[in-house]
Structure 1
Amino acid sequence: MHGPDASRFAPPPAHFAGQRWGLGLILAIFVVLATLYNVRVPILEAPDEALHYLAARHLAEGGGLQPMVTRQSAEGVRLPPLFHGLGALLTLGVDTGEGPALQANPYANVCRPETPGNKNLVMHPEAEVWPYRGVPLAVHLLRLLSTLCAAGAVALAFLATREALPNHPGVALGAAALFAFNPQFVFVGASATSAAAGVLFGTAALYLALRVANGRALGGPRAAALLGLLVGLGLLAHVSLLVALALPPLAYGARLWRQRRAEREDPAADPLHGLLVPTAVAWGVALAIGGWWYILNAAQGIDPLGGGLLGGDVVRAASTLRETSLSPWETVEAMARSLRSYWGVFGWMNIPADEAYYVFVQLLTVLGVAGLGLGAMWALWNRGDTAGQPWHTVGLVAAWALLQGVVYALYARAATCPQGRLLFPAGAGISLLLGLGIYVLAPRRYGGALVGALAAVLLVVAAAAPFRYIAPAYAAPARVALEEAPATMSDLAIRFSEDVFLLGHHMERRSVKTGDVLRVRLYWLATGAMDEDLTVSLRVYGRDEAVIGSMDSYPGMGSYPTSRWVPGEVIVD
C-alpha cells in the first residue's frame, strides 16, 4: 500500500475561473431544493420555527427586545435579534391577524422518529395552501430569508475551501456540494429560524480567518476589525457563534506559525504584534457589535444566552463536569447519537430517512475521517518533504470544527433530544475536512470525482425527501364514500355521538407478543359537522384484562381532526 502523494497538499496557484459555473450550478440546485422544502413542509414544522416566527412578529409589532414568555416555560426567552430584525422588516406589511388561529397537536411525537404518526406539532388548516396569506405568508417569507442566508453560506464554503486548499479545485467544489446537498442542511435552509443566518456569519468568519492565515487579507488592523465585525454579527444571529470568538487567535496564530516555518523576517511574526494585538482588536469589535445583547440579558436577570436551546444545555453539562467527568468515550457516543440528525432527520426531529441512507452517510464519514488520519500520518512520516504545504489552514479548519464539536458534545450530553443541525456553523469546515479525507483515499486522478459522486447521492436523497419522507408524514388519511367502504372490514356499527359513527375495523394480526407492532385500521363515518376535536383512544388488553398497549391521538394519526370532517365521508384511519 502506498501513502498519499505529498505533492497533492502543496499550494501552487490554480485557475478557478471554470469553477464559477460549477459553483453557480450547485447554488442554483440548492435554491431550487430549498424552495421545494419551503413549499412542501407545513409551516411551524421545523424545530423552534414557531418561536422564531413569534420573535420576528414581536419585533414587527413594535414589541422591542422584551423577553417572550412561552407556554412551555414561565421564564422569559429572548433570541439573538439579527435574523428576527431582518424578518420583521421583510414581513412588516403582512397582516398576521388573518385566518384561523393555529392549534397545537397535544399528541405530537416530538423527537421520536421511531414512533409512527403524529409528526405534526400543530394542526394545519386548509388556509395554508397557495396563495399564502396571514401567518403562512409571513412564515414562508422568513423561510425565504433563511434560504438566502444558507445559499450565501454555500458560496462561502467553496471560497473557504479554495483558500485552505488552493491546489485542489476538485475538493473546493466537492466540499461545497457535500455541504449544499446535505438533506438536513437543505431543510434548515428552508426553515424560518435563525440557524441559517448563524451558519452564514460563521462561514464568512472562517473564510476571512483563512485569508488572514495565508497573509492575503487587508493590511494593518483592518483585517482584524473586519473579522471582529463578522464574529459580532454572528453573535447577534445565533448563540452558537460564541465559539467564533476563537477564530481571531486561531487565524493569527496560524499566520504566525506559517511565517516562522518560512523563516521570514516579518514584523508580523512577533507574537505581540502578530497575534495578541490583532486578536484584541477583533475581540473588541466583536464584543462592541454583538456583546451588548448578552450583557443586556444578564442585566435584566435573564440567562445571558437568552434561555434558548443550546446555551442552557451547554451550561448545565459544563456545570456537572466536576461531579461526572466527560470521558472521551462519552464524547464520541454523544456525537455518534447525533450523526443521523446532522445528515437528515426532518420535522421536529421525528421524520427519519431510510436506514440505507444512514448507512451511506456513516460510510461517507468513516471514509473522510480515515483519509484525514492517513494524510496526517503520511505528513508526519515525511516531515522533510512537507515544506510549503497548507497545514496551517487545514489545522485552522480542524481546530474550528473541533471546538464546535466539543461545545456540541457538551450540549448533546445534557439535551434530551440532541440536534445535529447545531453543528452547521462549522458545516463548511466539516465538509472541507470530509472532502479532503475522501480525496486523499482515492487514486490521484479520481479524488474529485469520488467526492462529487458521494455528493450526488446526497443530492438524490435531498430531492426525494420532500416526497418520500416529509409529505407522507403530514398527509391526511384516505376518505371514501360510504358505498366504497371495503367489505373485508369487521363490522362494528358503534355510534359515539350524533356526528361520529364507527363502521368497522381491520387488524392485520390477532395475536401479538411483547415488542410487536399491532396495526389497526378504523373506518369512521362522519354523520354531521363538528366544531370540537375528539380524541381516539385505543387500548390493547392482554391476559387478566391488563393493558399491554395504548395510543391516544386525533384521527388520521393527528393529521385529520374531527372539526375538519365532512358529513357523509368515511375516514380510513
Structure 2
Amino acid sequence: MPPLKTLRKVWREAPYHWLLPLVFFCVGLVYLFASPNFEASDTERHVALINWIAKHGQLPVQSPSKDTVYRQQASQPPLYYLVMAAIWRVMDTAEFDDYYQPNPLVIAGVPERLGNRNLVFYRQPYPPDLRGTSLALYVIRALTLAMGAVTVAAVYQSARTVMPERTGFAVLAASLVAFNPMFIFISASVSNDPPVSMLTALIAWQMLRMLREGFQTRRSLILALLVAIAALTKLNGLVLGATAALAGCYVFYRSRDWRGFLTLGLLMLGCWLALSGWWYLRNLNLYGELFGTGAMLDNFGRRNISPGRLIREEFEGLRISFWALFGAFSILTHKLFYLAMDGLSLLGAVGLVLFMARNRRRSFALSAVFFLGLALALGGAMLIWWSSQTSASTGRLLFPYITSISLLLALGLVTLRIPPLVIALPMFLFAAIAPIVYIAPNYDHPPVVDQLPADALPTQVRWGDTSLVGYHLPAPRRWTAGDEIPVTLYWQPLAQTQDLQALFLTLLNADGEAIATVDTFPGWGSLPTTWWQPGQIYKDDYILQIPKDAPGFSTMQLHIGWYPFPDGSDIRPLLESGEEAASFILPLGAFVSGADLHLLGDDATSQGTVFGDAIRLNAFRLSEGHILDLEWRLVAPISGAWRVFAIVLAEPYQEGAPFEIVWQRDGIPAVPVGFLNAEEAFVTRHAFKLPPGYQGEHAVYVGWYNEDLGQRLPVAYPSNMLPLPLMNLRGPAS
C-alpha cells in the first residue's frame, strides 16, 4: 500500500480542474444514452424553436393566437437557439416532422403515476439512433453537456478563489454540481438552462476574483462580455449581471479606484448594448416591453397565486426537482436520496452560520459569502415572482445560481469538518447508476419473446388484429387502497393497425364501476400499434395502482379492452370459441377499503347466532314488506364459496316433516368471506318476489351453504337453518 503521505500528496495535487469536468462529462454520456431525445422538461419546445429558426432563417414573432410547438420558448433570449440552429442546418433533419411523434396519452408532472412517461414515440430508443434528426439532436445534447462540464470547472475555480489553500473545499463544491443527478440530466438535454448556468458560473468566478484582487481591465472586459452573453441566453442571467455590478460598487467603496470602477461600468453597458441590446429593442418594438415576459405569459398561460401559498404548496416539488426529478417532472428516485440531500442541506446551513461567525473579521470571506448569497436571494426572489404568475416552480430554474448554492453549502460542510469524499463519492455513485435504474426502464419498447412462458396462463382473445395469447395475473386475493397490482399481458398482433389503437385496463367493482383505469399504448406508452411487428409476441408489463383514497367493499375484476384512439367505441373481443363477447374480464379477488356502506342501523333487530363457529348474525331488518337485510360479522377466518340462503315456508319447519318453500332468495356477500378479516361486518340482501298486493305472516329461515361442498354451516337448529321471528310479508302495491 502507498504510504499515507503519498496519498495526501496525490489528493492535494490531482488535476481536479479538468478531472472533475471530465468525470461529469462521462457520467453525462450515460444520461445521454438513457434518456431519449425529447424526455426532459420543455425539450420538444426548445427543439421546435431550433428547427423553426433553421428552416426560416429568422426569429419567430410571438402571438397567443398561433398554436405552435415551441410556444413560450420563442420569447426567450435567442443566443442558444441561434447557435444550435446553425448546427441543425448543416445536419440531415429533413424527416423531423416524421421523427417527432408525441405520445397523446403521456402523463407529465405526476410522478406518483406509473407509465406513459415518454413524451414522444421512438422507433429505436435503445441503442440510440445515430441518423438524421436523431443524430442532430445527440450532437446538440453533447455540446450542451460540454457546457455543463464548463460549469463544473468554473465552480471549482470559484471555490479555489475563495479558499486557495483548501483543495477539499473546491473538490466538494464542484462535486455538489458535477454529481447532482438533475444537473447532469438537464445538461444532457436540449435546453437553454445549461448555457446560462455555464455563463453565470463564469461570472461568479470572475466576480469573486474581482472581490479578492480588485479591478483589472482585462477581467472587467471578460465580466462585461459574460454578462452581455448571459443576457442574450436567458433572462435569469441578468441576476448574476446585477450581482456583479453591485460587487463592483463594493470594490470601488473599498478601494476608491475610480478608473477601474468606471471602466467596469462602461464596459458592462457597452457590451450589453452591442451584443444584447438588439434583442431587448426588438421586444420593445414587437411587444411594447423590454423583456418579452408578457408575450411569454400569453403563450404559456397565466395564474395568480400568493407567495405564501406558492411556497407551501410547491416548495417540495422545487426541492425535489433540484436534485432529481427526471423526465417531464415525472420520474422520482429513491426517497432516501431526497432525505440525504435534505440532511446535507441542513448541515450545510448550520455550518455556514458557524463559518460566518468564525470569519467575521475576514472581509473577503464575508464579502464572498454575501455576494454569493445575494445572487441566490435575488434569483430565488425572481423565481417566486415568476412562479406566482405562471407554473414555473422547478429546480432547474435554480441552476443559474448553482455556483452560489454549491459554494455556500460546501463552506458549511467543511466548517463542520465533514470529509469531502464522504459526500462526493456516494453522490458520484448514485449519479452514475440513476440513469440506468430510474430513467431507461421508462422508455424501452416491450420485449419480444420467442414463445409464451410456461408459467403464463394461455388464452386466445382477439380484438381486431390484436391477439392476447397469455397473461400473468396475481391469484385472487384481498386488495386495499394504495395497493399495486402487477399485470403481464402477452400480445401477438396479426398486423399493424392503420390508425392508433389504445389499450385500457380497468379495475371494476361488483357494480361495474371503475375503481381505477389505465389508458395506454403497448409498452406502457412506448410502442404505438401502428409500429409493432406482426407475428411477434410482446411481453407487456403493467402495475395497476389503486388510488389511496378509493373506498370500496366489493369483489374486483380486471377489464381488458381496446378502442380506436382517441374516442372510438370499444372493440368487441372475439373469444377462443369464436363467440363475440361484450367484454373480457378476469377476476382479481376483492377490494376492501373501509366498512360495508350497507351496515344496518339502530332500527334493525339484534341477533347473535353463530354459524360454524365462524360467522355471527348481528342483526336483521325487513323493509318494504319483502326486502330482508341480514348483517353478519366474521368471528373467525373461513374459506370457500359460502352463500346465504333465506327461505319463506308456508308453515313452521318440523324436522322430518314435509314442508313447502313459498319463496327463496339467496345472497352472496359483497366480499366473499374468504377475503374478510375477523370482526369485519357485512350485509346480504334478500328481496323476495311476492305477488302484487300479497300480505301474509310467514316463518323465515336463514343459513349458509357451500354448493361445491354440498353442505351447510352448522348451527344449533334443525337442518342448520336459523328461524327468524314470524314476519308480516307484503308484496308491492298492485
TM-score tier after normalising by the smaller chain length: 0.7 to 0.9
Look up the equivalent residue of 1:457 and give its one-letter code.
Answer: P
> Which residue pairs with 2:528 in the alignment?
561
Would the aligned equivalents of 1:485 and 1:570 in 2 still touch at CA under 8 Å?
A: no
> Which residue pairs with 2:327 in the alignment?
347
Look up the equivalent residue of 2:421 and give its one-letter code.
Answer: G
Kindly state the Cα deviation for residue 299 of structure 1 after the two structures are TM-superposed: 1.8
Aligned CA distance change for structure 1 residues 550 and 194 (closer, same or farther; 3 Å): same
Alignment counterpart, residue 533 of structure 1, candidates 488, 497, 500: 500
Whole-Å separation in 1 of the counterparts to 2:126 and 2:433: 23
Identity among equivalent pairs (%): 28
Larger displacement relative to structure 2 (58-67 or 203-212) = 58-67
Aligned CA distance change for structure 1 residues 286 and 334 (closer, same or farther; 3 Å): farther
- Aligned-partner SS, 1:214: helix
> Which residue pairs with 2:286 in the alignment?
300
Look up the equivalent residue of 1:396 and give its one-letter code.
Answer: F
Would the aligned equivalents of 2:491 and 2:539 in 1 still touch at CA under 8 Å?
A: yes
- Aligned-partner SS, 1:525: strand
Kindly state the Cα deviation for residue 67 of structure 1 after the two structures are TM-superposed: 3.4
> Which residue pairs with 1:164 in the alignment?
162
Kindly state the Cα deviation for residue 551 of structure 1 after the two structures are TM-superposed: 1.3
> Which residue pairs with 1:359 in the alignment?
339
> Which residue pairs with 1:545 in the alignment?
512
Would the aligned equivalents of 1:341 and 1:349 in 2 still touch at CA under 8 Å?
A: yes
Aligned CA distance change for structure 1 residues 250 and 336 (closer, same or farther; 3 Å): farther
Residue correspondence of structure 1 range 131-142 to structure 2 within 5 A: 132-142=130-140
Look up the equivalent residue of 2:473 and give its one-letter code.
Answer: M
Whole-Å separation in 2 of the counterparts to 1:387 and 1:255: 15
> Which residue pairs with 1:45 in the alignment?
39
Deviations 1:397-443 (A, max 9, x none): 1111121122223344555463201111111111111111000111x
Alignment counterpart, residue 109 of structure 2, candidates 111, 116, 129: 111
> Which residue pairs with 1:438 in the alignment?
413
Look up the equivalent residue of 2:501 and give its one-letter code.
Answer: L
Whole-Å separation in 1 of the counterparts to 2:500 and 2:301: 41
Whole-Å separation in 2 of the counterparts to 1:162 and 1:492: 67
Kindly state the Cα deviation for residue 396 of structure 1 after the two structures are TM-superposed: 1.0
- Aligned-partner SS, 2:236: helix
Deviations 1:514-546 (A, max 9, x none): 343333332222122334321002222224322
Residue correspondence of structure 1 range 412-491 to structure 2 within 5 A: 412-416=387-391, 418-442=393-417, 447=418, 450-482=419-451, 484-489=452-457
> Which residue pairs with 2:190 in the alignment?
192
Aligned CA distance change for structure 1 residues 173 and 254 (closer, same or farther; 3 Å): farther
Greater helix content:
1
Gapped runs of 5+ residues in structure 1? 1-14, 260-265
Aligned CA distance change for structure 1 residues 74 and 132 (closer, same or farther; 3 Å): closer
Would the aligned equivalents of 1:111 and 1:417 in 2 still touch at CA under 8 Å?
A: no
Alignment counterpart, residue 370 of structure 2, candidates 363, 370, 395: 395
Q: TM-score, normalised by structure 1?
A: 0.83
Whole-Å separation in 1 of the counterparts to 2:272 and 2:326: 34
1:91 aligns with 2:88: yes
Aligned CA distance change for structure 1 residues 315 and 528 (closer, same or farther; 3 Å): closer
1:23 aligns with 2:17: yes
Aligned CA distance change for structure 1 residues 387 and 121 (closer, same or farther; 3 Å): closer
Kindly state the Cα deviation for residue 210 of structure 1 after the two structures are TM-superposed: 1.4
Alignment counterpart, residue 79 of structure 1, candidates 71, 76, 80: 76
1:229 aligns with 2:225: yes
Aligned CA distance change for structure 1 residues 35 and 127 (closer, same or farther; 3 Å): closer
Kindly state the Cα deviation for residue 18 of structure 1 after the two structures are TM-superposed: 5.7
Larger displacement relative to structure 2 (519-528 or 303-312) = 303-312
Deviations 1:200-241 (A, max 9, x none): 11111111211222234414xx64443232111001111221
- Aligned-partner SS, 1:545: coil
Would the aligned equivalents of 1:77 and 1:307 in 2 still touch at CA under 8 Å?
A: no
- Aligned-partner SS, 1:350: coil
Whole-Å separation in 2 of the counterparts to 1:188 and 1:287: 30
Residue correspondence of structure 1 range 151-300 to structure 2 within 5 A: 151-219=149-217, 223-256=219-252, 259=254, 266-268=255-257, 278-279=264-265, 281-300=267-286
Larger displacement relative to structure 2 (509-518 or 352-361) = 509-518
Look up the equivalent residue of 1:568 and give its one-letter code.
Answer: G
Look up the equivalent residue of 1:154 and give its one-letter code.
Answer: V
- Aligned-partner SS, 2:173: helix
- Aligned-partner SS, 1:535: strand
- Aligned-partner SS, 1:565: coil
Deviations 1:446-479 (A, max 9, x none): x4xx223212111111110121111111122232
Would the aligned equivalents of 2:466 and 2:491 in 1 still touch at CA under 8 Å?
A: yes
Q: TM-score, normalised by structure 2?
A: 0.66
Deviations 1:46-85 (A, max 9, x none): 1122222222233333431123755468778343221122
Aligned CA distance change for structure 1 residues 213 and 311 (closer, same or farther; 3 Å): farther
Kindly state the Cα deviation for residue 121 of structure 1 after the two structures are TM-superposed: 0.2
Would the aligned equivalents of 2:302 and 2:390 in 1 still touch at CA under 8 Å?
A: no
Look up the equivalent residue of 1:210 and give its one-letter code.
Answer: L
Aligned CA distance change for structure 1 residues 432 and 157 (closer, same or farther; 3 Å): same
> CA-atom RMSD, angstroms?
3.2
- Aligned-partner SS, 1:237: coil
Kindly state the Cα deviation for residue 277 of structure 1 after the two structures are TM-superposed: 7.8
Kindly state the Cα deviation for residue 355 of structure 1 after the two structures are TM-superposed: 1.3
1:54 aligns with 2:43: no
Would the aligned equivalents of 1:208 and 1:217 in 2 still touch at CA under 8 Å?
A: no
Would the aligned equivalents of 2:75 and 2:293 in 1 still touch at CA under 8 Å?
A: yes
- Aligned-partner SS, 1:519: strand
Gapped runs of 5+ residues in structure 2? 1-8, 541-734
Whole-Å separation in 2 of the counterparts to 1:345 and 1:422: 13
Which structure has more relative contact order (CA 8 Å, sep 6+)? It is 1
Whole-Å separation in 2 of the counterparts to 1:96 and 1:315: 31
Aligned CA distance change for structure 1 residues 77 and 144 (closer, same or farther; 3 Å): same
Aligned CA distance change for structure 1 residues 70 and 142 (closer, same or farther; 3 Å): farther
Would the aligned equivalents of 2:24 and 2:179 in 1 still touch at CA under 8 Å?
A: yes
Look up the equivalent residue of 1:553 and give its one-letter code.
Answer: T
Whole-Å separation in 2 of the counterparts to 1:245 and 1:115: 40
1:143 aligns with 2:162: no
Would the aligned equivalents of 2:44 and 2:70 in 1 still touch at CA under 8 Å?
A: no
Whole-Å separation in 2 of the counterparts to 1:377 and 1:316: 43
Deviations 1:235-264 (A, max 9, x none): 11112212223223321233245x2xxxxx
Aligned CA distance change for structure 1 residues 376 and 336 (closer, same or farther; 3 Å): farther
Whole-Å separation in 2 of the counterparts to 1:549 and 1:65: 46
1:502 aligns with 2:477: no
Larger displacement relative to structure 2 (501-510 or 87-96) = 501-510
> Which residue pairs with 2:550 in the alignment?
none
Kindly state the Cα deviation for residue 284 of structure 1 after the two structures are TM-superposed: 4.7
Larger displacement relative to structure 2 (67-76 or 353-362) = 67-76
Whole-Å separation in 1 of the counterparts to 2:498 and 2:23: 44
Whole-Å separation in 1 of the counterparts to 2:289 and 2:44: 21
Deviations 1:354-399 (A, max 9, x none): 11111111111111111112223445xxx5xx24552111211111
> Which residue pairs with 1:408 in the alignment?
383
Aligned length: 527
Look up the equivalent residue of 2:512 and give its one-letter code.
Answer: E
Whole-Å separation in 1 of the counterparts to 2:124 and 2:301: 42
Kindly state the Cα deviation for residue 192 of structure 1 after the two structures are TM-superposed: 1.6
> Which residue pairs with 2:60 in the alignment?
66
